[in-house]
Amino acid sequence: MSKKTKSSSGVWQSIFAPLAIIISFIAAYLIFTKILGNPVNFEGGNPKGHPLQGNLIGLMYKGGVIVPILITIVIVLIIYFFERLITLTRVKGKARINVFVSNLQGMLAEDRIEDAIVACDKQKGSLANVMKAGLTRYRALENDKELEKDQKITSMKQAVEEATALELPVLSRNMVILSTIASISVLIGLIGTVIGMIRAFAALAQSGAPDALALSTGISEALVNTAFGITGSTLAIIFFNWFSSMIDSYVFKIDEAGFSLTQTFAASIRK
């Protein structure tokens, strides 16, 4: 990858997060006002009144001003779910990893290093990048007549470790956003819950007959925000754990392939 490509990728990554949040908030506001707050969902066509019986959309609108924030969080979560899914699918490369590694091992056994490097270029992905770095160092060290055997093996290990370290940020990028959403979604939902309960108790505290509309609005606000917050947090935890498992499995395969390459190199220089 060229420096220009890396720079462009870095710029895109730096603006992706704020752009995703802004777009998500705009979409959430439109959903809240145009869909949830549509007059057809309420008695008498008045969004300030009671939702129609059994109308969950109108009920969600009664969740109040915290609802657009929670919808924003859910949309951001969905965006980053697909971003992680696409990225982790691409870093695996074109062919199946086990088949690719098996083919490389066959080429190494026949000392076809150049063919193996070409195969890495075709495969693409993080594993192929690490193996290509190792194979490039492999051939260079084979032709080096000055270094001792131990120095060559150390240099080989270093090449694989450095290439792996460069790939790890790509694998773990944006995972912190999923973990953050898992934490804050419930907390923001609880803020809406507390606001709703305050309004409900304020309606009960009025002298004379309690304001039934204010009471029901407060309870609705509390329950809707609780539901939204728990839903967002639950999905974020599921996505985070799933992607973490994928990343750990992939890193293990990279380490395994790198170790195999180093051992093959060590065996070849003993001959």
pTM, full prediction = 0.81
Q: Let me know if residue 125 belongs to a domain.
A: yes
- Structural domain including 139 reads 97-172
Alpha carbon of 217 to those of 10, 35, 38, 113, 180: distances in Å?
A: 46, 18, 17, 71, 30
Q: Let me know if residue 103 belongs to a domain.
A: yes
Q: Let me know if residue 75 belongs to a domain.
A: no
Measure the CA–CA gap between 136 and 196, rounded to whole angstroms. 63
Whether 262 shows a pLDDT value over 50: the answer reads yes
Q: Let me know if residue 244 belongs to a domain.
A: no
Q: Let me know if residue 84 belongs to a domain.
A: no
Highest mean pLDDT among 100-104, 115-119, 125-129, 238-242: 238-242
* pLDDT > 70 in the chain, percent: 89
Query: Would you give the distance in Å from CA 238 to the centre of its chain?
Result: 11
Q: Is there a contact between 175 and 240 (Cβ–Cβ < 8 Å)?
A: yes
Q: Let me know if residue 242 belongs to a domain.
A: no
- Per-residue model confidence (pLDDT) at position 4: 46
Q: Let me know if residue 195 belongs to a domain.
A: no
Residue whose pair of structure tokens reads 């170790």 in the numeric block: 259
Number of domains composing the chain: 1
Q: Let me know if residue 122 belongs to a domain.
A: yes
- Per-residue model confidence (pLDDT) at position 1: 47
Whether 202 shows a pLDDT value over 80: the answer reads no
